[in-house]
Amino acid sequence: MISASVQTTLLDGLATFKNFAVQLESDAKLAESLPVVSSSLGDLVDLPDQVQSNLIAPIQSYFSSLPAGTGTIEGLTDALKSVQATGGQALGQFADGEYLFVLSQWQVATPGTTPLNLTSDTAGLALQLGTTPSLASTATNTLSISFGVDAGTASPTFFIEPSTTITEQLQASATGITTTAKLGVADLAITNGSASLNATANITLTDPSNADGKGYISAAELAGTSLPQIEQSVLSGTASLTLPATSTETTGGTLTLNWTGDLSAVGSSNIATLPGLDSLSTITGTQLQKAIAAIHEGKIGKAYFARAWYDNHRGSIGHGKAAPVPEWLDYELWQGPAPRRPFRDNLIHYNWHWFWHWGTGEALNNGTHEVDVCRWALGVDWPVRVSSNGGRYQFQDDWETPDTQVIGWDFAQGKTLSWEGRSCNGFPVENLERGSLIYGTEGTALLDSNSYTFFDKKKKVIEQAKENESVDPTDTVSASGIGLDRLHVANFLECIRTGSRPNSPIEEGHKSVTLLHLGNIAWRVGRELHCDPADGHIQNDPEAMKLWRRDYEPGWEPKV
């Protein structure tokens, strides 16, 4: 039987939790306006009312239907299971003087409309919309909660387990948006625009101090502890806006904005503007940029070592033989600056990478992507020492470059970078076929295309953001990731239009590529290289320095 005192403690404790939910709704992390829409998740999902109708009311109804001081944990569990919003399971148990109820996947979805609102505060540009369209929206609240009463203490104590989680999700979209807008000084006519938002607030209750030694969050802690001490909130998702527009100042175009990652601030955005509005500030950014900025600001202490890798399951290329040039191939043009050699049947389309005459191996085929990120994270330019080890181990065929290679670079700032390439053994590192680890004095960062995870010195995850697109990391067409490729191209085109400096200037790309060339040179001469930290040139090694440049087909020599 559930005594009257336990019943009272349970209902009073849930009332305290309801008041705590009011604080959650007003928490700044949830109340900030989201990109694209003017409503916050807290405005659209009434968590306190849901606690009242789906927890407190069923329990009150159950107890009121029975004589005072009666009722069973099984009966109360059944009453909670009967709530229409409850999915998953509701379980009750009694052990060690504690009544514990586990209610999983209680979910309420509320349809509605959400006003579209894009201002300079959320977009980073001066855009004012005329008639404000509304997005059809669905706000969903999911509560996975473990709560109960500890009857083994001097007086019964209501508690919530720290494993309790609350998820608030907002999905909103609209098509056929027709309105007017003002972008800077330009008056725009918007026709058939579209907008969408998928935002999620994940809240986890914690008990970091465990002041009472019980390992749970008591009603007193819910009522008297400042919110940030017992809850952790992460607001994430994606948002996009596409506005085809015409203007008297321009020939027309489309204004597009996309965000991904942490939506409490613009985590990632790409703005392609109307032609003719050269004065408009352009924002380009990614989660990767955010991660690198955090590393530079000391999130993992002093970053001193970066490790990058790439692996694949490439097969043998066999032993080729001379063959007629296919009719679809302009072999003369294809060879470009390389001195002419007869066509062979195991060269094109892809295997030219593995011949020194045309290619540079896996190091410059795929290593450049992560090495560039590592150099950016460490803040280094040219090395003072380069080593390279490995060989062609998997198959005995025409493949000349290493299929297994480890290159190391030491820098004058007391930092080291390494890249490991395994072309024919696809066993992943950190469950990733390619990626980078940045090690610091206070933690480590794992970088994967446009995703990142920060760890403290005890391997605990302290921050994480995931790319929202599924990408094949070994794709030979778009090996660096669909999302980043799109941002790179957009930034490149914007620089052509405005004359602005690209996010990755050519001189920075030159440094990253040259590091891999130095690694190949070290492997080909079979020894460590010593380099000038001012420009990367090889010192005191004439044989190695001969490989600084390639041989050119007459007439194809570069002219500077």
Cα distances (Å, whole numbers) of residue 272 to 35, 132, 284, 486, 490: 17, 22, 10, 11, 7
Coil vs helix vs strand at 174: strand
Return the DSSP state at 154: S
HSE-up of residue 372 (Cα within 13 Å, Cβ side): 23
> Which of 83-92, 211-220, 223-232 is predicted most confidently?
211-220
Both tokens assigned to 343? 């066509």
Task: Give per-residue pLDDT as tens, 100-159.
Answer: 777 766 777 778 777 776 554 444 444 566 666 778 888 787 888 888 888 877 788 888
Q: Which of 23, 488, 36 is nearest to 263 (CA)?
A: 36
Return the DSSP state at 352: G
This prediction has a pTM of: 0.52
Distance from C-alpha of 257 to C-alpha of 239, rounded to nearest angstrom: 8
Task: Give per-residue pLDDT as tens, 266-321.
Answer: 433 333 333 333 222 222 335 787 888 899 999 999 999 999 999 999 999 999 99
Cα–Cα–Cα angle for 24, 257, 187, rounded to 5 degrees: 115
Give me the pLDDT at residue 86, please.
Answer: 67
Give me the pLDDT at residue 479, please.
Answer: 43
CATH number given to 293-492+516-532: 3.30.360.10
Q: Which of 36, 108, 418, 478 is nearest to 257 (CA)?
A: 36
Identity of residue 452 = Y
Task: Give per-residue pLDDT as tens, 335-360.
Answer: 999 999 999 999 998 999 999 999 99
Give me the pLDDT at residue 270, please.
Answer: 37
pLDDT at 445 over 70: yes
Domain boundaries defined on the chain? 4-285, 293-492+516-532
Coil vs helix vs strand at 193: strand
Q: Which of 326, 515, 489, 316 is nearest to 418 (CA)?
A: 515
461 or 116: which carries more pLDDT confidence? 461
Give me the pLDDT at residue 108, please.
Answer: 76
Is the peptide bond between 349 and the residue preceding it cis, with omega within 30 degrees of 0?
yes
Give me the pLDDT at residue 312, please.
Answer: 95
Grade residue 205 by pLDDT with cuts at 50, 70 and 90.
confident
Distance from C-alpha of 457 to C-alpha of 463, rounded to nearest angstrom: 13
